[in-house]
Amino acid sequence: MTTNSKELKTISLESEITKKDFWKCFRRSCTLDSSWNYERMQNLAFAYMMAPIIRRLYKDEDKRADALKRHMEFMSVTPHISTLLVGVAGAMEEENAKNKGFDAASINAVKSSLMGPMAGIGDAFFWGTLKLIAAGVGISLATQGNIMGPILFFLIINIPHFVLRYICLDKGFKYGAQFFKDLSMSNVVSKVTEAASMLGLMVIGGMTAANVYFELPIMIGSGEWAEPLQSYLDEIMPCLLPALLFLLMYWLIGKKVKTTTLLLSIIVVCIVLAFVGIV
Amino acid sequence: MLVVQTILIILIAFFAYMHCYMGSTMHNRPIIIAPLVGLVLGDLHTGIVIGATLELVFMGAFPIGASNPPDFVSGAIISTAYVIITGQEVASAVVLAVPIATLVLLFDNFQMTVLLTWASHIADKYAEKGDIKGVERVQRIAGIGNKVLLALVVGLGFVVGVPVIEMILQYIPEFVTRGLDVAAGIIPAIGFAMLARMMMTKKMIPFLLLGFILASYLNMPIIGVALFGLVIALVFFYYNGAMTKEVVNDDNEF
């Protein structure tokens, strides 16, 4: 009877952490990027996420101070999947609270070893692929003034987002650091990343054709036989100039040219071209 | 009227900036924020169209690691408001959004280097004492407070900026506007190239080409291209694994 009622309240039989704490962490994980600073990035928000767990596990102030200080260290990870780190760190904190021989330094060691690869995969997936697909779908509707554009944009990003945010927290607590290691070993992650990149690159290719505009309306030939240069280019290949511009940008970014430099150069060049009457 | 509009603009800005207090849901993107401004100023349709245009312009603006993009929230809000209030062409939103976004980023950078770093140092002191409530309080005040400041900056930009911008734009020669218009068509290429850099390997080139060909030669809408891509990705995901497994099994049998 006692075990039953305990199971209802805590996330597992062995754990002290309650379901209420779990959802507090979930809600607080949503604030991860809000106090971003140049020194330690998401550190303050991460300590805030960990606070409910620290409060539950440690009763005396010295231990609480140690735990808080641990989580005020540097943190940089994709916010949407940051819950995995909270889960893993929470599970380790619990181990630390129960087991006197546990080396508390290993908590931060595990955190920092996970955050790099997680940010690599997560940033590419959320800010890259997923946002790109959502934008591709959303923009094509919104250019016609269709309200479904912004709505679909929001849903395409956030349905997978909140599902993953939950799964990461749940599995993080259950399996600790092992979960991510197993996941990366089983190459499911790399396969998902690859599949997502295929889809993402197709959308990039499509959007380059559909959403990059550059035409050369100047006339070549003379008198009756004059035709705009653009119609010759179109015969070679539709969207030839946008494709070339894309390749140029791709090459320049590879040469480590800053995007602000690119942005400003494009503006200046276009104004000059407009001045001499080419575009 | 102006007072009500300004308050509503500040509220939209606050809502947009709070996206990273509400799960980094990306509802701060122009495609969502510009329609909201349109709704408040009584022209939803124009808002949606501007949203699409600005979303393309800021395609490459996303935060990764230690790099922070131009502040497209302020850019989108003020330029959308300007276009709707003065009845200008949609393209002129782009002309305004980029410089505004760059300017407000300076303020945001000040917050992130000075104010928020300072906040994290205050939290250090509470952490030292084991004061959980103290740390929580700092995060709540700093996390929400810096968004309030940003929203007020946007409100100020709206009140002071729109009339000033209107005055300046009168004196800009026609070729400059024309040039900016052309530039707006090219700028999305930067974003696409940045995104492609994140995902590209040699064996991924065919997919980029396929997407381009579907859209350019066959005029397939982007939703179609995305669904086509989804099919290919699913085929890869399910069949590729199965095939390699069989090969491994064969090796074991012999």
Would the pLDDT of B183 be above 50?
Answer: yes
- Partners of A37 in the beta sheet? A41
How many domains is chain A built from?
Answer: 2
Would the pLDDT of B72 be above 70?
Answer: yes
What ipTM was reported for this prediction?
0.87
The pLDDT tens digits of the residues spanning A139-187 come to 999 999 999 999 999 999 999 999 999 999 999 988 876 776 677 667 7
Same domain, A50 and A155: yes
End-to-end CA distance of chain A: 80
Report yes or no: A186 at the B interface, CB cutoff 8 Å.
Answer: no
Q: Is residue A209 part of a domain?
A: no
Same domain, A104 and A171: yes
End residue of a domain, out of A166, A200, A234: A200
Report pLDDT for A191. Answer: 83
Same domain, A127 and A17: yes
Same domain, A56 and A171: yes
Same domain, A116 and A43: yes
Burial grade of B218 (CB within 10 A; 0-12, 13-18, 19 or more)? exposed
Report yes or no: B134 at the A interface, CB cutoff 8 Å.
Answer: no
Same domain, A72 and A146: yes
| Pairwise CB contact (< 8 Å): A153 & B211 | no
The pLDDT tens digits of the residues spanning B186-239 come to 989 998 998 898 888 888 999 999 999 999 999 999 999 999 999 999 998 888
- From chain A, the residues in CB contact with B46 under 8 A are 145
- From chain A, the residues in CB contact with B188 under 8 A are 207, 211-212
- From chain B, the residues in CB contact with A143 under 8 A are 49, 52-53
Select from B49, B195, B223 the Cβ nearest to the Cβ of A137.
B223
Burial grade of A16 (CB within 10 A; 0-12, 13-18, 19 or more)? middle
Same domain, A191 and A55: yes
Would the pLDDT of B81 be above 70?
Answer: yes
**pTM for the full model?**
0.87
The Cα-based distances of A33 to A41, A45, B63, B70, B101 in angstroms read 8, 7, 10, 16, 19
**Distance in angstroms (rounded) separating the CA atoms of residues B162 and B155:** 11
**Distance in angstroms (rounded) separating the CA atoms of residues A110 and B3:** 52
Would the pLDDT of B240 be above 80?
Answer: no
Same domain, A222 and A174: no
DSSP annotation of A1 reads -
Q: Which domain holds residue A245?
A: 216-276
Spatial CA neighbour of B228 closest among A267, A133, A154, A54: A133
Q: Is residue A207 part of a domain?
A: no
The pLDDT tens digits of the residues spanning A201-214 come to 999 999 999 999 89
Q: Is residue A117 part of a domain?
A: yes
pLDDT band per the 50, 70, 90 thresholds, residue A7 = low
The residue in chain B having the minimum alpha-carbon distance to the alpha carbon of residue A54 is B132
- Partners of A75 in the beta sheet? A41
Handedness of CA B213, B217, B223, B229 (dihedral sign): negative
**Distance in angstroms (rounded) separating the CA atoms of residues B65 and A276:** 41
Q: Is residue A205 part of a domain?
A: no
Report pLDDT for A219. Answer: 81
Q: Is residue A210 part of a domain?
A: no
Report pLDDT for A3. Answer: 52
Same domain, A108 and A244: no
Report pLDDT for A189. Answer: 76
| Pairwise CB contact (< 8 Å): A124 & B198 | yes
Spatial CA neighbour of A149 closest among B187, B55, B230: B55
Cα distance from A105 to chain B (closest Cα, Å)? 17
Least confident span in A183-197, B8-22, B155-169: A183-197
pLDDT band per the 50, 70, 90 thresholds, residue B243 = very low
Report yes or no: A237 at the B interface, CB cutoff 8 Å.
Answer: yes
End residue of a domain, out of A140, A175, A200: A200
For residue B26, which phi and psi values (nearest 5 degrees)? 65, 25
Select from B49, B193, B223 the Cβ nearest to the Cβ of A253.
B193
Contact A172, A50 (CB under 8 A): no
Select from B46, B132, B230 the Cβ nearest to the Cβ of A199.
B230
The Cα-based distances of B8 to B2, B143, B155 in angstroms read 10, 21, 9
End residue of a domain, out of A143, A174, A200: A200
